[in-house]
Amino acid sequence: MLKLDNKLTNSKRKNVRVIGPDSNVTGLFFNAGFSVDNIKDPDLVVFTGGADINPLIYKQNPIKECGVIFHDRDKRELAAYEKYKDIPKVGICRGAQLLNVLSGGSMYQHVTGHHGQHQVTNLLGNVYKENLVTNSCHHQMMIPGKDGELLAFSDKRSTSYLADPEAKLSPPEVDVEVIYYDTTKSLCFQAHPEWYPAQPGADCPQYFIKLIQYLL
C-alpha cells in the first residue's frame, strides 16, 4: 500500500467514483487507501482512459488521423462532468484530455513518436521527486488552456503535432504530461498509473496519488 499523507489518513476515507472502463483504476485507489464502495456520494470523480474524444467538443474538425470516436461514451461522460462539476475530478489519458478541453484547453489530434516509457520532469518538487518515469500509449496531446497550470512535461519526444488546420496551432515547446485547473478542480494526468506494477521500476502510481493528495 502506498504511504499516504496526513491530509488523507487523518480524515475520512475519500469516496471515489470511477467514470468509464475500469481496467484496475478502482484497485489503484483501493490500494492507496481510498474508499471505492460509496459511489453515490463521491468526494473525487475519476474519468478513465480509452478512445479519442470527439474533436468537435474542443471546436476542431476531425482530421484523418483521428481515431475511432464513441459518441455514446462522449455523451455519457459530458453528462457526468456536468453532474459532478463542483466535485474534484481526475482524468487518466482520455479522461485527462476530456477534463482539459472542458476546462478551456485544446488538443493536438495526432502526435507521432511519443509511445513507451519515458522520463518526465515534475514541476512540483515539494510533492514528488523532480525526475521520474511514466508510460505513454496515446497518440494525442493536451494543450493547456489559460487557466491550466503545467505540472509535468517531457522533452519533445513527438516528431509531429497534427490538428485541424483551422485551429492554426503551433508545435509546443515541450510535450505536456500533467495539467491542473483550479477553476474546475481538475487534474489531467496523461499516463496510465493503473498499469503498474506490470511495468516495474516506474514512479507513475506514487506520483499520481501524491498529486491527488496535494491538490484535491
pLDDT at 91 (0 to 100): 98
Residue 66 belongs to domain spanning? 6-215
pLDDT confidence of 191, banded at 50, 70, 90?
very high
Report the alpha-carbon distance of residue 79 to residue 30 in Å, rounded.
Answer: 25
Q: What is the mean pLDDT of the chain?
A: 90
Is 130 a member of any domain?
A: yes
Residue 69 has pLDDT above 60, yes or no: yes
Is 1 a member of any domain?
A: no
pLDDT tens digit sequence for 24-52: 999 999 999 999 876 788 999 999 999 99
pLDDT at 8 (0 to 100): 39
Is 52 a member of any domain?
A: yes
With a CB cutoff of 8 Å and minimum separation 6, the contacts of 192 are 49, 92, 93, 135, 137, 204
Is 158 a member of any domain?
A: yes
Residue 204's closest CA among 119, 138, 114, 89? Answer: 119
pLDDT at 5 (0 to 100): 40
Percentage above 70 pLDDT, the chain:
91
Give me the CATH number covering residue 86. Answer: 3.40.50.880
Is 67 a member of any domain?
A: yes
Residue 136 has pLDDT above 80, yes or no: yes
Report the alpha-carbon distance of residue 87 to residue 195 in Å, rounded.
Answer: 25
The DSSP 8-state label assigned to residue 128 in this structure reads S
Report the alpha-carbon distance of residue 16 to residue 41 in Å, rounded.
Answer: 9
Span 58-65, average pLDDT:
97
Q: For residue 65, give Cα distances in angstroms to 33, 41, 108, 160.
A: 40, 39, 11, 12
Locus of grid cell 522533452: 155
Entry pTM: 0.92
Report the alpha-carbon distance of residue 186 to residue 6 in Å, rounded.
Answer: 22
Number of domains the chain contains: 1
